[in-house]
Amino acid sequence: MAGRRRVGNLLALAVLSAVVERPMHPYEMASVLRERGKDRDMNIKWGSLYTVVRNLEKHGLIEAVESVRTGGRPERTIYRITDAGREELVDWVRELISTPEREFFRFEAGLSVMVVLAPDEVMELLGRRLSLLEQEIAAARESLAAFSRELSRMLLIEAEFDLAMREAEAAWVRSLLDELTSGSMPDLELWRKFHETGEIPAEVRDMAERSRTGNQK
Amino acid sequence: MAGRRRVGNLLALAVLSAVVERPMHPYEMASVLRERGKDRDMNIKWGSLYTVVRNLEKHGLIEAVESVRTGGRPERTIYRITDAGREELVDWVRELISTPEREFFRFEAGLSVMVVLAPDEVMELLGRRLSLLEQEIAAARESLAAFSRELSRMLLIEAEFDLAMREAEAAWVRSLLDELTSGSMPDLELWRKFHETGEIPAEVRDMAERSRTGNQK
DNA sequence: CATCGTATATTCGCAAGCGAGTACTCGTCA
DNA sequence: TGACGAGTACTCGCTTGCGAATATACGATG
């Protein structure tokens, strides 16, 4: 999965951002990252931690400093970041911030095959989505407000972004739902017919077949 | 990766949505899906096609009908959807539409570690992102308009969603950039200092350490 | 009719990812 | 004092994902 990154997993970014402050052993990285809520910003699976650390070492981005044994615990290997690692970290962050990447929302996949359901069911499902979204937004807003009282905004910027995206999604769903329920969405009757008749409309499919070429990106 | 889905890869959803119309062999599924632009709605890697098809068969969601040989071409196995497959398809779409799932934007990961860069650099990078986003949006808008001329809106709904999300992102970035350049973002001076001094501020980190608990979800 | 490019159709093998398991330690509460 | 639960620290092994390779057919072109 590397792409241009030698270790592609975002957990590697998190690890680098931890060891850049001081040398640590893997379990400590996990604690630090958890404490800072990084597992909420990235999709971190702790099962991958040791694999990722090993790969980072293999590529010279971090290096083992020493192995200490405290009490009877298993031996812990302490890693520190290398110059190459520091460079990778900075370069990676630059890229993540400066370069928009196509995100594939699971919702989008759902929308793109929604015609397998009846329109009325879709409306109901969208309604459910909207109300769940609203709940989440309320909770997120509240928790953000709570944190803001003791934390600089700059450290909460990701949470603000996340909130903004959810609000945008909710707004979009709301407007789609309006169009569907008010009946102002074109071809809605056609769609409904398919589901009473049974199957997919040759005419529309043909249209689809025809034009699909030369899209952006 | 399955979760509750027996075959977790979204390519499996696409495959099901293709074979629900008529039996096909794998390569034909690929052509059909490509033609319909499904590879733009989901993050499809064609290298996974045969693995996914095999897994779908293994779980009884599709089944082989026959193997035909046309000319000297390699033998093609034709699959049709089963009742279980139809059920899975419908249920999956229901879930995708009704249940919002936390998406992990790569940008968010970047934001969450942006403090490793100097504030002025971040502003520059955000500027670059914004202009790239604007280009993409313009292109997407244009291509959507082109398609709309010959295609029902309902078949372009995903593209509309995608566009809306990008617009929301652009708006958010623009407003962040404004706050940073106008200097209205709090603690900006503190941040700048770190980078002249050299390192991360104990005070702020401590704040961070303290409060992180009981977030939403 | 030799050649070349494009479409057809699939296989292979490595490596990444990660859920689940292991094993030990320490504090505490009865 | 011994049992228990929570935390510490890591390992294992299966599965999935996917880039790259393979091999043949077909039509166009010189």
What number of C-beta contacts closer than 8 Å exist between A and B? 272
Q: What pLDDT was estimated at residue A212?
A: 46
Distance CA B204, CA B200 (A): 8
* Cα dist from A168 to A46, A136, B11, B171, B178, whole Å: 31, 13, 27, 10, 20
B1 pLDDT band, cuts 50/70/90, is very low
* Residue B85 and residue B153 share a domain: no
* Residue A51 and residue A147 share a domain: no
Which positions on chain D have an atom < 7 Å from some protein CB?
A: 8-13, 16-20, 23-26
Element (H, E) at A10: helix A10-19
* Residue A58 and residue A128 share a domain: no
**Degrees to nearest 5, angle at CA A65 with A62 and A69:** 125
Interface mutation target, options A35, A88, A108, chain B, most CBs of B under 10 Å:
A108
Which protein residue has its CA closest to C1' of C18? A47
Report the largest interatomic distance among the alpha carbons of chain B, rounded to a whole angstrom: 74
Total count of domains within chain B: 2
Collect all residues of chain B within an 8 Å Cβ-Cβ radius of residue A206.
none
Q: What pLDDT was estimated at residue A163?
A: 98
Tokens 């249209």 belong to residue = A207
Residue-number span of the structural domain to which A190 is assigned:
106-211
DSSP SS3 for A192: helix
Alpha-helix residue ranges (DSSP H) falling in A36-113: 38-41, 49-58, 83-98, 106-112
Nearest to B128 by CA among B162, B163, B170, B168: B170
**Contact with chain B for residue A143, Cβ under 8 A:** yes
**Main-chain dihedrals φ then ψ at residue A183, nearest 5 degrees:** 80, 10
Domain boundary (B98, B122, B157) is at B98
In this structure, is the dihedral angle defined by the CA atoms of residues A129, A136, A101 and B26, taken in order, positive or negative?
Answer: negative
B15 pLDDT band, cuts 50/70/90, is very high
Q: Read off the pLDDT of each residue in A158-163 and give the average, rounded to a whole number.
A: 97
pLDDT, tens digit, 9 for 90 and up, residues B158-217:
999 999 999 999 999 999 999 999 999 999 988 888 888 766 555 555 555 545 443 333
- Check A42 against B186: CB less than 8 A apart: no
Under 8 Å between Cβ of A154 and A93:
no
For B74 and D22, how far is CA from C1' in angstroms? 12
> Is the model's pLDDT at A214 over the cut of 60?
no
* Residue A74 and residue A121 share a domain: no
Q: How far away is chain A from the Cα of B195, in angstroms, using its nearest Cα?
A: 13
Residue B216 lies in a domain: no
* Residue B125 and residue B91 share a domain: no
Q: Read off the pLDDT of each residue in A129-143 and give the average, rounded to a whole number.
A: 97
| Two structure tokens written together for B35 | 């033609």
Residue A1 lies in a domain: no
* Residue B52 and residue B128 share a domain: no
Compute the mean pLDDT over every residue in chain B, rounded to the nearest whole number: 89
* Residue B111 and residue B83 share a domain: no
Compute the mean pLDDT over every residue in chain A, rounded to the nearest whole number: 89
CATH of the domain at A76: 1.10.10.10
> Is the model's pLDDT at A68 over the cut of 70?
yes
Domain boundary (A98, A131, A165) is at A98
* Residue B79 and residue B22 share a domain: yes
Burial of B98 (0-12, 13-18, 19+ CB in 10 A): buried
Nearest residue, CB atoms, A139 vs list B162, B200, B216: B216
**Contact with chain B for residue A117, Cβ under 8 A:** yes
Interface mutation target, options A10, A87, A93, A104, chain B, most CBs of B under 10 Å:
A93
Burial of A147 (0-12, 13-18, 19+ CB in 10 A): buried
Which protein residue has its CA closest to C1' of C23? A74
